[in-house]
Amino acid sequence: MNVQTPLVIETHELSKTFNNVQALKPLDLKVSQNTICGFLGPNGAGKTTTIKLLLGLARPTGGSALVFGKDIEKENDLIRRKVGYLSQDPRYYDYMTARQTLRFTAGFFYEGPKVEIENRIAETLELVGLSDKADRPIKGFSGGERQRLGIAQAQVNYPDLLILDEPAASLDPIGRKDVLEVMEKLRKHTTIFYSTHILDDVQRVSDTVVILNKGVLVAQGPIEELLAGGQGTTFTLTVKGDSAAVENRLQSQPWVTGIVTISKNGKVSWQIRVSDPDLAEAQLVPLALAGGGVTVCEFGRKAQNLEEVFINIVEENNHDNL
């Protein structure tokens, strides 16, 4: 993480206990300005609790947190002026239309001029693709339309920080794509901190990732670093011929930490996890060819996806806690 970039969110041992159950264990979280930070974790990991603490909707039982350098307990009024928030299950007043909802939301932030406020509302409706439904009561809105309205109300005030709790959870693939596009458009103006279960989306738009499991922060950092690796790099090697001898040679290398073998169509493919990627890159093919009798069909570094990284991290953390 670039330490020079100002931090928008910074927590110090922030924790929350509900009825003697620790929903959030002491959390040290950092989110830099103008990044899109994906906040990941299984159900019940403490993501929504963290978000509610940052917004002043719940009170911490321990630790502290700063948003824009302001204390979440003592200066929450000032924080909420600069934040847009979309809850996990957004609910609005059903008797209002989308335009009235945005007018009501904008009323918390702006006094006028009226024309400018109406322009801003129209612009926001356009951004989320609700212009044609702007004057319909929300009661008849689909889940996707409500979610779009949720994003619209969250950013009608040009927030410096947009906090989105599962923004794409109830959307179909097209709706998800639209939401991600909106997030991309807002990136240059706003820091976005969003929780989600949809790891493909995180990999597509996020700069940094925070992974929470059972109330504990288990990983935090730029997405490239996370994908590259704390969990070791994996190479794929496919050969045709005497594979048993090759596998023995590979197993005997001290920098090989795990091998998964897949046989198909007379070829043998290995996924080789290594502790020293540079050494592995230089030596794996010579090792395979050393005894003769084999042909290397394919070799390369296996691209990890976030889902694998996430599952590995969470499972390791669960195992450590047993």
Containing 7, the helix (H) or strand (E) segment is strand 7-18
Report if residue 83 touches another protein, rule: CB under 8 A.
Answer: yes
Residues contacting 167, CB < 8 A, separation 6+: 86, 147, 150, 151, 179, 183, 194, 196
Q: Which stretch binds another protein (CB under 8 A): 52-60, 240-248, 252-260, 304-312?
A: 52-60
Alpha helix (H) residue ranges in 131-263: 143-155, 173-186, 199-205, 223-228, 243-251
**CB of 38 vs another protein, minimal distance in Å:** 20
Phi-psi region of 289 (alpha: psi -120 to 50; beta: other; left: phi over 0): alpha
> Smallest distance, Å, CB 204 to another protein?
22
- Closer of 33 and 257 to another protein (Cβ): 33
Which of 116, 126, 200, 315 touches another protein by CB under 8 A? Answer: 116
Closest CA to 298 of 271, 275, 280: 271
Residues 6+ away with beta carbon under 8 Å from 20: none
Interface mask toward another protein for 185-224; x: CB under 8 A: ---xxx----------------------------------
Rounded to whole angstroms, the Cα distance separating 236 from 261 reads 10
**Interacting stretch for another protein, rule CB under 8 A, among 37-45, 95-103, 242-250, 296-304?**
95-103
Of 1, 7, 30, 57, the one binding another protein by CB under 8 A: 57
How far apart CA 17 and CA 188 sit, in angstroms, is: 36
Q: How far is the CB of 80 from another protein (least distance, A)?
A: 5
- Any bridge partners for residue 296, and if so which? 239
Report cis status (omega within 30 of 0) of the bond before 113: yes
CA Rg value for the chain: 24
Which residues 6+ apart lie within 8 Å of 122 measured at CB?
A: 131, 134
String marking each residue 303-322 x if it binds another protein according to CB under 8 A: --------------------
Per CB under 8 A, 89 contacts another protein = yes
Q: Is residue 239 a contact point for another protein (CB under 8 A)?
A: no
Of 137-176, binders to another protein (CB under 8 A) are 158, 160
Residue span 14-43 as binding mask against another protein, x where in contact by CB under 8 A, dash where not = -------------------xx---------
Q: In one letter, which amino acid is 213?
A: N
Q: Which segment (103-111, 211-219, 256-264, 306-314) binds another protein by CB under 8 A?
A: 103-111
Q: Which of 47, 52, 133, 176 binds another protein (CB under 8 A)?
A: 52
Residues that bind another protein (CB under 8 A): 6, 33-34, 52, 55-59, 68, 77, 80-81, 83, 85, 87, 89-93, 95-96, 100, 104-105, 107-113, 116-117, 120, 158, 160, 188-190
